[in-house]
Amino acid sequence: MITMSWVDISALAGAMVILALVPSVSVLAVTARAASLGFAHGVYTTLGIMLGDIIYILLAMFGLVLLSDVIGGAVALIPYIGAAYLVWMGVLLWQAGAQKTEAQAEQGNSPGSSFLAGLLITLADQKAVLFYLGFLPAFIDLEKVSPADASAIVVIAILTLGITKLGYAMLASRVGNMMGARAGSALNRIAAVTMFVIAIYMLLKS
């Protein structure tokens, strides 16, 4: 049974929409992939971001932050793995912008690469779980959270994050389409630089 009131649910949904709209590293990733590779890649990047946020929401609600004690220092490796992957993707995008072979261009342009980028960017933000630990208690008692409450919050997160991030992806992809094929090389290089900047940001935060 859901213990949250409709007022709490509405307030939580509104707060998460506002948070999702604020320009961030995840928004940069979504717009860069969508502008250079198309709306579908913005969708896959958004799905990766959503999965990462859902993981952190569940960790916050069920107290599994203690998991970091179990796996120890391995948690600290996540930002470095994510940054390395983003640098690799950036290099491939830069090569695509330089009009390398079609095979080289395709390596970093798969749906899976966009999904993984979104997921790693979110998981690399180790402060996210602490954010949710401070954010969710304003709407629900974490000591009395039920499976129904957890399901409702996950659905809210999916809808709010999905709508806002996909909105960014749609706008970015339209800009990319308006610029035309001649701008494709420039967009790929802009996306590559964006990947490099995000990777550096992740490393500095870690």
Domain that holds residue 182: 24-205
Share of the chain above pLDDT 70, in %: 73
Give CA separation, 85 vs 30, 122, 143, in Å.
Answer: 16, 13, 37
pLDDT at residue number 86? 72
Q: Residue 160 pLDDT more than 80?
A: yes
Q: Residue 140 pLDDT more than 90?
A: no
Name the residue among 86, 93, 89, 154 with its Cα closest to residue 121.
86
Q: Regarding predicted confidence, which is higher, 165 or 107? A: 165
Q: Name, of 4-18, 57-71, 191-205, the range with top average pLDDT.
A: 4-18
Residue 4 lies in a domain: no
pLDDT at residue number 146? 80
**Could you tell me which residues come within 8 angstroms of residue 180 by beta carbon, excluding any fewer than 6 positions away?**
none
pLDDT at residue number 101? 41
Tens digit of each residue's pLDDT (9 = 90 or more) over 48-107: 999 998 988 887 777 654 555 554 555 566 667 767 877 877 787 677 655 544 444 455
CA distance linking residue 196 with residue 184, whole number of Å: 18
Residue 6 lies in a domain: no
Q: Residue 121 pLDDT more than 50?
A: yes
Name the residue among 206, 196, 203 with its Cα closest to residue 91.
196
Mean of all residue pLDDT scores within the chain: 76
Give CA separation, 109 vs 80, 94, 182, 192, 193, in Å.
Answer: 21, 12, 18, 12, 15
How many folded domains does the chain comprise? 1
Residue 187 lies in a domain: yes
H/E element, 42 = helix 39-62
Q: In the structure encoding, which two tokens stand for residue 125, read together?
A: 């933000």
Number of neighbouring beta carbons within 10 Å of residue 193: 15
pLDDT at residue number 178? 75
pTM, 2 dp: 0.73
Residue 16 lies in a domain: no
Residue 94 lies in a domain: yes
Residue 15 lies in a domain: no
Residue type, 140: I
Q: Are 31 and 168 in contact (CB under 8 A)?
A: yes
Q: Are 64 and 58 in contact (CB under 8 A)?
A: yes
CA distance linking residue 85 with residue 154, whole number of Å: 27
Residue 169 lies in a domain: yes
Residue 139 lies in a domain: yes
Q: Count of residues for the chain?
A: 206
